[in-house]
Every structure is written in C-alpha cells, then in structure tokens.
Amino acid sequence: MQSSLTPFRVAVIGGGPAGLMAAETLAQAGVRVDLYDAMPSVGRKFLLAGRSGMNITHAEAYPDFVGRYGASAQPLRPALDAFGPQAVRDWVHGLGLETFVGTSGRVFPTDMKAAPLLRAWVHRLRESGVQFHMRHRWLGWQDGALRFSAPGDDGAAGERLVRSDAAILALGGGSWARLGSDGAWLPLLAGCGVEVAPLAPANCGFDVNWSEHFSSRHAGEPLMTVAVIARDTQGREMRKQGQFVVTQGGIEGSLIYALSAALRDQIAAEGHTTIWLDLMPDWTAQRVADELMRPRGARSLSSHLQSRLGIKGVKAGLLRECLSKEQFSDEVQLARAIKRLPLRLERARPIDEAISSAGGVKWSALEGSMLKTVPGVFVAGEMIDWEAPTGGYLLTACFAGGVAAARDALAWLTPR
C-alpha cells in the first residue's frame, strides 16, 4: 500500500506495458493513480505477444542493444539508461518470477508465459493503490478535463469528464486494433498542435504477386537457412541470415521483420522494392556452380538439384517461380540465381497485422516526455515515433518509456 500520499492525482490512459509501468512508478512515489483503458481488462496485447514465449528483453552488450533502435537510439537513450535490460530483469524478479537467457540472447521468464507475470503485476498495482477504470475510451479534452466514453452505473453508454493534476498517455500504436491500440488518438493530438507522423507497419510481412501454382503448393512453408540481401533508401546493401515463411500472398517471419523498416521505406519511396535470396548461404558461389555442373546423366534437373545441393520443396519452387524456363534450364544462370534470386515486394501488409508500428508523436513535439503544446500531458510507449526489431527491444523501450514519463510528470508536478 502507499505509505505517504502526495496531494497529486495523475490519470494514466492505456493499460499496456508503458501505462502499467508509469502507474507503478507514480504509485511508488505516493501519487494517487487512476488508470483508464478502453478494453475490459489490461495488457491484452502483452498477453497475446507472450503466447509464443514472453520475450521481455535482450542480454546482448548494452551499446549493441541501444543501437537496435536506429535513428531513435539517441532520444531513447536517457530512458534506457535509467531502466534498461538489467533493470527489466530485476523488476521481473521483484514480482517473484525468475528469468533466463536463451541461446539467441533473448531473455524470458522461466515459465515462458506472460499471464503469471501480468497477474502478479496487476495484483501489486492494486495493492499500491492504483485504481483501474475499464471500458473507458479516451475522447480528448473538454474544458480542461479528460473526456471519456464510458458505461454508466446502469451499464448504458455515456460520457465522463475527469480532472487530474497531470496525465500520461500510453495508448499504443496502430497494430492489433482489436486489442485496443487502434491509433484513434492521432487526430486528437494533431488537433492540439502536436507534431505527429502517420502510423506505419513495423515488424511486418510483405505482399508478393505469387502465381496460383506456387501459392497453392507452398503457402505456409518455412524457408530455413536462407539469407536476404536488401537495399535501403540510400542504396546501401544489407544482408541478414535466418528464416522466414511463405504466405498465401507474400512473405513474413523473423528474417523479414528484421529488414522491414528499410523495405517499407523503400516501397514508400519507389512504389515497390526487390530483395535477393541466397538459398544456400553457407556455400560459396563457386561451390554451388561446381556441384551444379557435375554430370547428371538421365536425372532431371530437379533431381540433380536435390541430389547435389539439397534444394527441394519450397526452395526449388521459388527458383521455378522467379526464373523463366530458359533461365532455370541454363546451369550458369541457375547457379547465379541460387545465390542471388530476385524477389519483388509490392507492399507492406496492413498495419493491423503488424507486430508493431512506426510513426506517432514526433520527438520534436516533446520536452522530455511532455507534449510541448499541452503542458502536464506526457506520452510513453509506441505512441512516440520510434521502432525496434523483435527480440525484447520493443517491450524494454515501452517499460523504460513508462518509467520516464512518470518521472517527468513527478518532476513537473513537484514545484506546483
């Protein structure tokens, strides 16, 4: 329970990781906290993201960790310095849960699940005095008060005005709208003179104009041990190795997500982009050519590819999909394509399918985490225009942003 209450009351709007962390930081400082969320319960996206393993942060060297945030590394650095990967692990341990580092450096709770963590967290928040107000959708301001759409005592829809000494907005980005982060706040802030960038998909898949023949045979199949070569908007080549999945209408998966920001931006600039697939990244081009040129006797070229190079299934299908019959039959061109197969990407998948989103409140619109045009209102999490790859980076920055917004609010309130 709170031990020494301050005279301040702060509204936190949004019950995701950033909002919950802001609420906890404020409550620990003795502030009266009301947390509002449009959904019936908090942490819905957090729970869904944790279904395949709750990756909370990453254990790589800290300078490398910070570098994963790209252009936003510098403005995010103060928050990450104050509440970084080790602080996240210590915080989880404080909830009575242990963590471990996986082979990839990703950090997980020992049981790999999000639900026990969220239950323990919400319990601690309630014990600290945080008041939860569910089914409260923020609609902006009216006469200086926060305006919500909320059910009345009889359950019927209505509106409610709330006054507070400060407010922290942690409303999420634009992905997975059914879980609450629908980006509806963007025009509300823009109407108050806040500089915002349009929301865009991040960590997303891309559309490819597959033939019906290829799609019907290979949709859902993973491409294991491949490399992708791509170019950014400055024409610089990037190469990453890993795996991804062929979908009914395109490609998705961890390897594609790692390149998605550059691919999305190039499509925005040029209307489409091309990536190149190295189907045998552990082989040199010369070795591929030498094996392909070996006599095959009466065997078909497809059998020869499988026998000499192990290329079959979806990899063989891709070669036939992306090459003409003449190119596929020409062993020199085929060997070259195995190491650098061009694949045209038409567009990013819709933002609602993306793991996260880019865009939102521009850094230039903030003083610390407070909106320059709306004093006393602070923002945290994916509402701000930054993005990061999967691997614990998204969640860590949301946690850190929640802590930073709460501390900035406390610093702003204290002289008052």
Return the domain boundaries, the chain. 9-201+357-413, 206-348
pLDDT of residue 3 exceeding 50: no
Please tell me the predicted confidence (pLDDT) of residue 398: 97
Sign of the alpha-carbon torsion through 345, 346, 352, 353: negative
Residue 182 pLDDT grade (very low, low, confident, very high; cuts 50, 70, 90): very high
Enter the tokens of residue 144: 């200086």
pLDDT at 5 over 70: no
For domain 9-201+357-413, which architecture applies? 3-Layer(bba) Sandwich (3.50)
Helix (H) or strand (E) holding 398: helix 393-413
Q: Which of 277, 290, 282, 287 is nearest to 319 (CA)?
A: 277
CA-closest candidate to residue 107, choices 121, 122, 93: 93
Task: At 230, list the tokens.
Answer: 């791509």
* Structural element, H or E, at residue 213: helix 212-218
Q: Which residue has the tokens 């406390």?
A: 410
Amino acid at 371: L
Q: Are strands 32-37 and 9-13 parallel, antiparallel or unpaired?
A: parallel
What average pLDDT score do residues 119-144 get?
97
265-280 confidence digits (pLDDT tens): 999 999 999 999 999 9
Residues 6+ away with beta carbon under 8 Å from 414: none
What pLDDT band is residue 94 in, cutting at 50, 70 and 90? very high
What is the rounded radius of gyration, in angstroms, for the C-alpha atoms of the chain? 25
Q: What is the pLDDT of residues 368-409, one digit of tens each?
A: 999 999 999 999 999 999 999 999 999 999 999 999 999 999
Report the alpha-carbon distance of residue 33 to residue 320 in Å, rounded: 60
**Local structure of residue 384 (DSSP, 8 states):** B
Mean pLDDT of the 290-319 span: 92
Query: Cα dist. 383→174, 184, 212, 362, 409 in Å?
Result: 9, 11, 39, 9, 17
Helix, strand, coil % in the chain, rounded to nearest 5: 40, 25, 35
414: which DSSP letter?
T
* Token pair of 146 as six digits: 């926060």
> How high is the pLDDT of residue 49?
82
Residue 99's CB is within 10 A of a number of other CB atoms, namely: 17
User: pLDDT tier at 318 (50, 70, 90 boundaries)?
Assistant: very high
